Amino acid sequence: MRINPEVECVIDRALAGEEITPPEARTLMSVDVNSDEMYALMATADELTKRQFGNRGEVFAQIGINFWPCPKSCGFCVFGENWGLTKERVELDSEEVVARAKVFEEAGANAIFLMITADYPFDRYFEIAESVRDAISPDLPLVANIGDFGPHEADRLLETGFQGVYHVFRLREERDTEIAIEARVATLEAVSESNLDLSYCVEPIGPEHPPEELVEEMFRGKEYGAVNHACMRRTPIEGTPLAAVGEISEWEMARAVAATRLVAGDTIRAMGVHEPSLLSLRAGANQIYAETGPNPRDTVDDTETGRGRSVQQCRRMLWEAGYTALEGPTSVFRGGW
């Protein structure tokens, strides 16, 4: 295999444990997915992950709580009020969320995520979360996927028993979303100043995003100390403004995952890809998601009957990729313990 000397230099530095720079990451994101450089990049990311985590794969399980029109109307989200795709208001009550969390735990999920739309009442969310926390093992991490918040809410999350938060600065925030840039940054600051661990992701990636934009988010996640970094490609939802732009291929997704893995180095405790992708699991990722309930990338109100995968399906995919699924709670999220 003969690869571009510039790419080979970046790969060699990453394998030596050196931090790569934004220009070097942009070089990686510019490689042709049909080239020898692509295979070298994937192999390098895979080696870094296997070197750090062995053959350990992880399944995080996410429960969507509500399916209703959201006033933020992000250009890629089925919940967007302006798109008229969510006609009815569907909400899982506390008992149902607890039941689904227990099913996930019994199936072998390594962490539980609770997700709501940006306008969901925080007080109601905390009540549900408290019930979940009481029902599952105290050792099983609970992670929040919620709207923007400040230090007060960060304290409440900790008091409720959360160990981590999934929060990101989405690609083209405030342009493709109706969420202020300042609000997203303020939330990331609130998380970094708390004892909550951050789960971050470069998302939602579409074919219109150049390497510069993706690399910026790779380094933003690293800057804020993400313990779990990831990449997610955008799912075209018919009826949303960005559906016509299309989506990236599995190969382009694998390239983003591999480059993010090299950027993260040994600063993370797991590398994720969403939605689950076998190819990306051979390009540095070792963590995927099972899902139930409402999902912003699905048009049905329970993604179990749509795009979502079960814990068993995720564990099978990890096996297909050469990983052994972790038994018991993850050690990725240690905040609040």
d(CA 296, CA 318): 24
Mean pLDDT of 222-250: 97
The model's pTM: 0.97
pLDDT at 2: 81
Q: Can the peptide bond before residue 252 be classed as cis, meaning omega within 30 degrees of 0?
A: no
Per-residue pLDDT band at 88 (split at 50, 70, 90): confident
d(CA 244, CA 206): 11
d(CA 124, CA 107): 27
What structural domains and CATH numbers belong to the chain? 5-325 (3.20.20.70)
Q: 300, 290 in Cβ contact below 8 A? A: no
Eight-class DSSP state of 80: B
Nearest to 105 by CA among 132, 124, 80, 82: 132
Q: 44, 15 in Cβ contact below 8 A? A: yes
Mean pLDDT of 13-31: 97
Which are the contacts of 243, defined by CB distance < 8 A and separation ≥ 6? 236, 237
Q: How far is CA 100 from CA 108, 240, 292, 300, in A?
A: 13, 29, 8, 17
Return the axis-axis angle of helices 211-223 and 250-264, rounded to nearest 10°: 40
Return the percentage of the chain with pLDDT > 70, whole number. Answer: 99
Residue with tokens 């996930």: 104
Question: How do residues 193-235 score in pLDDT, each as one tens digit?
Answer: 999 999 999 999 999 999 999 999 999 999 999 999 999 999 9
Q: Is 108 left (phi over 0), alpha (psi -120 to 50) or beta?
A: left
Output the DSSP codes for 1-64.
Answer: ----HHHHHHHHHHHTTPPPPHHHHHHHHTS-TTSHHHHHHHHHHHHHHHHHHTTEEEEEEEEE
Burial class (CB in 10 A: 0-12, 13-18, 19+), 19: middle
Per-residue pLDDT band at 87 (split at 50, 70, 90): confident
Mean pLDDT of the chain, nearest integer: 97
Is 337's pLDDT higher than 80?
Answer: no
| Helix (H/G/I), strand (E/B), else coil: 90 | strand
Measured in whole angstroms, how far is the alpha carbon of residue 204 from the centre of its chain? Answer: 10
Nearest to 233 by CA among 260, 262, 265: 260
Per-residue pLDDT band at 60 (split at 50, 70, 90): very high
Question: How do residues 270-321 score in pLDDT, each as one tens digit?
Answer: 999 999 999 999 999 999 999 999 999 999 999 999 999 999 999 999 999 9
Measured in whole angstroms, how far is the alpha carbon of residue 49 from the centre of its chain? Answer: 17
Mean pLDDT of 225-253: 97
| Helix (H/G/I), strand (E/B), else coil: 221 | helix
Four-CA torsion 178, 179, 180, 184, nearest 10 degrees: -160
Is 34's pLDDT higher than 90?
Answer: yes
For residue 18, count other CB atoms closer than 10 A to its CB.
12
**Both structure tokens of 157:** 């999350």
Is 331's pLDDT higher than 80?
Answer: yes
Is 1's pLDDT higher than 90?
Answer: no
pLDDT at 336: 83
